[in-house]
Structure 1
Amino acid sequence: MSTSVSENPPKPEGGDADTVAGVPRSRIVVASMVGTSIEFYDFYIYATAAVSVFPHLFFPKGNDTTALLASLATFGLAFVARPLGSILFGHFGDRVGRKATLVGSLLTMGVATFLIGLLPTYHQIGLLAPALLALMRFCQGLGLGGEWSGAALLATETAKEGKRAWAAMWPQLGAPIGFFMANGLFLIITLFMNHDNSSPDLEGAFLSWGWRIPFLLSTIMVMIGLYVRLKLEETPVFARAVERGEKVKTPVAEVFKTSWRQLIIGTFVMLATYTLFYIMTTWVLSHGTGKTAADGGTGAGFKYTDFLVLQLIAVVFFAAAVPVSGWLADRYGRRITLLIITGLIMVFGLTFGVFLEPDGMNDGRMLAFLIVGMLLMGLTFGPMSAVLPELFPTNVRYTGSGIAYNTASILGAAVAPFIAVYLAKNYGVGWVGIYLLVAATLTFVALLVMRETKGESLDDVGA
């Protein structure tokens, strides 16, 4: 393998024109954002159903907490699959190219999500139902494991000079957009079908068939995503690496051989982001709609539809913070921006006991908690699709950024709702915040040892 770079100074990743390899930048923006929007939509409808649907239809035995934990365990299964997906799709992304691999990851995720909408329940086929659900969830994880890093590379490797973090924030917007679509659709369906999550009717329209609608509708969005992505060209950074003969036979072996330090740093840089996000989406939904202490529970006792409205309001602040963080990361640098934001997340972790104190809980206090958490989420999530790719050379960038991102998903997201449910039940909600504080502290340390990548050319990384 040749590791030399051109004697001429490398060109900006995507030049300064309004097109890249003849493709309008607007199409690249849409392609990077629409794919992640679809992927996160698919992921979030599962997360919502894991709290409101699956405990009743796929894990009905035992008490409410046991069924919820079993459902969240299948939710976490996808995070185990995601590093495998990053290796699988990363191999083809670094060997074959970004475009073809992005199409494959989108199809994998979309087919699995559609099939979840067709699954029979435990009452129909017994234990085979949760087994099939787990298998589809695993396939969802494989698809998302290859999706994020491909979309991030599509954005960063075609960016204008000095605007990589701004370009890279577009796929990050897919997270709040997907969340808004998924939860908004669930809200409309539950209101239309008069579903009450606090006293679910197993024979009612929602649990009989209505919950399947968001999963089945994902097919339409997948078709749109495929149409946009098939009209793309390969990124110029990858094309130049191919011209220089830098492709390797086994990217996963190469990345562990040459970039193991970056893998560790990247994983822990993402840890707080993942922990915060899944506490603020999956766990908080189960807590907010759970039974109060007066009814023998530890939750806040909100009506399911009322809580979804609060979450949807908060997600608007998440979306608004993403472009702000992209601008900050380009203006002041990735490292200092994320150090300050991570410090704020650590402080936020200390406020859980105050925000979520059951005495005097009301809509205003819960909404304030959700808005603060989602604002911080947007600020920390926005620069990540620039930061992680910038750590790795082009010939292993798809694999390396994907492994770091998705390994963090196991450490930060797969276990976060499970641990949070346990801590809240046994020690109180304040300890959920302490858990977030610990995760953010580890991220803070990783940022301290991470190099600043703002001014580096993607062609020169690892040269």
Structure 2
Amino acid sequence: MSSASPSGSLPASPASDAQMSTSRVIFASFIGTAIEFYDFYVYATAAALVIGPVFFPHSSPAAQALSAFVTFGIAFIARPIGSFIFGHFGDRIGRKSTLVASLLVMGVSTTLIGFVPGYASIGSLAPVLLCILRFGQGIGLGGEWGGAALLATEYAPQNKRGWFGMFPQLGPSVGFLASNGLFFGLALSLSDEQFRSWGWRVPFIVSAVLVGLGLYVRLKIAETPAFREAIEKKERVRVPIATLFGQYLKPTLLGAIAMIVCYTLFYISTVFSLSYGVSTLHFTREKFLGLLCFAVIFMAIATPISALASDKFGRRPVLIVGCIAAILSGFTMAPLLGSGNTYAVALFLTIELFLMGVTFAPMGALLPELFPTNVRYTGAGVAYNVGGILGASVAPYIAQLLANRGGLAWVGGYVSVAAAISLLGVLCMRETRDIKLS
């Protein structure tokens, strides 16, 4: 990358310094989302395995699972609120400081969950505290992704925004591997009693160390060229969210709709499938977690492939193909996951997570490209997190209800319908690959 940004607002500097700066920005956008999503997936995995019995004293395992999935959904309600709050400051005072604050909120909330006593110790206060901290997780993550995507894309050359925007999109794969890998190791090394008593808390507490690393990296980066140019030209608006809804409501809604398929694919194939695999198919925890760790590797492989394709062919063509494939994948759920065969289950998880990577990768460039600089942090964050409400907040809960009443074929139909809705949103969008960000 040259020493000047595409807008020409960066001062000249030696090539080696520019390269170091570019590498630092890429790493900062990646490491933050990796840590944030590690925190989020730690809870998702715990919700599927242990949150129900520890915090909700129902006699029915199904009722416990539904209660745990309700707390899982609370964070998705909080995420748009976080995108409003952090988006405001990200568009008003800058990307860097806002990203540091969002990481702190997320990390503190996650770490404290690891210390909340269970229902047996403090009664109904336990689920109340859990819900408050889960809400805090959602607030923090609501401000994270939009800023990380902007950090990458606002530094990127115009013809490589898909590639640069891919790095924050790799964060979820790494965060998921770290989260599930740690749970996998604990499941192998601890008895069931030890895991339920204290073992599940370890991944939450480990978050404190990872957040420290992320803060160190992010404090070393500079403000993005596009935002600095907006300051110089006095383009900032007083209330970004008002400008967003007043002038850019349509791209916000279309961006949110396009995100539905990503969230549905991921949380159905991880949270719901993990719960279903352990409770109904009678896989051991460690075996199913191992299958998920294997499958998410293909999500990581699909991410750079899809990002490069989006730079070459455009965001819309890649997403259209991905959505159509996701519609078809819903029909594989009952025969593959429902078979209970290890290889068939692994194939199903691999297909779904590969398609998650295909549909998720272009979003790192697409959502920022939908908005001008003065509302970009807010707009990208709101679209991303409203998509989370629509596609993920209730997905495991609805899937559990559908599985109880109609079986896995109904859950597969839910995946197909979600993908079809995203396809309609993408078809209504304009292509954004050639748009200038400043």
Give the TM-score normalised by structure 2. 0.96
Quickly say closer, same or farther: Cα 1:13–1:133, change in 2 above 3 A: farther
Quickly say closer, same or farther: Cα 1:10–1:32, change in 2 above 3 A: closer
Quickly say closer, same or farther: Cα 1:222–1:99, change in 2 above 3 A: same
Quickly say closer, same or farther: Cα 1:14–1:333, change in 2 above 3 A: farther
Amino acid in the other structure paired with 1:11:
S
2:158 counterpart SS class: coil
Q: Give 4+ residue runs of structure 1 displaced > 4 Å after superposition.
A: 12-23
One of 276, 285, 297 as aligned partner of 1:304: 285
Gaps of 5+ in 2: none
1:106-138 deviations in whole A, cap 9, x for unaligned? 000000001001111100110000000000000
One of 407, 414, 437 as aligned partner of 2:416: 437
1:250-276 deviations in whole A, cap 9, x for unaligned? 001110011011111111011111111
Write out aligned runs for 1:181-260 (5 A).
181-195=178-192, 204-260=193-249
1:407-460 deviations in whole A, cap 9, x for unaligned? 11011000100000010111010111111111111111111110000011012x
Tell me the residue number matched to 1:293.
none
Tell me the residue number matched to 2:391.
412
One of 46, 71, 75 as aligned partner of 1:74: 71
1:12, 1:194 → 2: CA distance?
Answer: 59
The answer as to whether partners of 2:6 and 2:157 remain within 8 angstroms in 1 is no
1:254, 1:277 → 2: CA distance?
Answer: 32
Tell me the residue number matched to 1:179.
176
Write out aligned runs for 1:100-179 (5 A).
100-179=97-176
Q: Report the Cα offset of residue 21 of structure 1.
A: 7.2
Tell me the residue number matched to 1:25.
22
Tell me the residue number matched to 1:377.
356
Write out aligned runs for 1:451-462 (5 A).
451-459=430-438
Q: Does 1:447 align with 2:426?
A: yes
Q: Does 1:261 align with 2:256?
A: no
The answer as to whether partners of 1:59 and 1:70 remain within 8 angstroms in 2 is yes
More helix by share: 2
Identity among equivalent pairs (%):
49
2:11, 2:405 → 1: CA distance?
Answer: 56
Q: Does 1:288 align with 2:238?
A: no
Gaps of 5+ in 1: 1-8, 196-203, 291-298
2:290 counterpart SS class: helix
Cα RMSD between the aligned structures? 1.7
One of 301, 317, 327 as aligned partner of 1:336: 317
Amino acid in the other structure paired with 1:75:
F
2:208, 2:312 → 1: CA distance?
Answer: 39
Tell me the residue number matched to 2:343.
364
The answer as to whether partners of 2:112 and 2:133 remain within 8 angstroms in 1 is yes
1:62 counterpart SS class: coil
Quickly say closer, same or farther: Cα 1:171–1:182, change in 2 above 3 A: same
One of 11, 18, 37 as aligned partner of 2:7: 11
1:53, 1:34 → 2: CA distance?
Answer: 28
Quickly say closer, same or farther: Cα 1:277–1:14, change in 2 above 3 A: farther
1:53-103 deviations in whole A, cap 9, x for unaligned? 111110122311111100110000000000000000000000000000000
Amino acid in the other structure paired with 2:135:
F
Q: Report the Cα offset of residue 208 of structure 1.
A: 1.5
1:49, 1:355 → 2: CA distance?
Answer: 24
Q: Report the Cα offset of residue 18 of structure 1.
A: 5.6
2:102 counterpart SS class: helix
Amino acid in the other structure paired with 2:254:
I
The answer as to whether partners of 1:14 and 1:160 remain within 8 angstroms in 2 is no
Q: Does 1:319 align with 2:316?
A: no
2:403, 2:301 → 1: CA distance?
Answer: 30
The answer as to whether partners of 1:122 and 1:128 remain within 8 angstroms in 2 is yes
Q: Report the Cα offset of residue 209 of structure 1.
A: 1.4
Quickly say closer, same or farther: Cα 1:30–1:10, change in 2 above 3 A: closer
1:234 counterpart SS class: coil
2:6, 2:23 → 1: CA distance?
Answer: 24
1:252, 1:371 → 2: CA distance?
Answer: 38
1:371, 1:246 → 2: CA distance?
Answer: 45
1:423, 1:20 → 2: CA distance?
Answer: 55
| 133-142 vs 268-277, greater mean Cα deviation | 268-277
Q: Report the Cα offset of residue 280 of structure 1.
A: 1.0
1:247 counterpart SS class: coil
1:353, 1:185 → 2: CA distance?
Answer: 29
Quickly say closer, same or farther: Cα 1:20–1:414, change in 2 above 3 A: farther
Give the TM-score normalised by structure 1. 0.91
Q: Report the Cα offset of residue 241 of structure 1.
A: 1.1
Q: Report the Cα offset of residue 353 of structure 1.
A: 2.0
Q: Report the Cα offset of residue 20 of structure 1.
A: 8.3
Tell me the residue number matched to 1:294.
none
1:324-355 deviations in whole A, cap 9, x for unaligned? 01100001000111101111001111221221
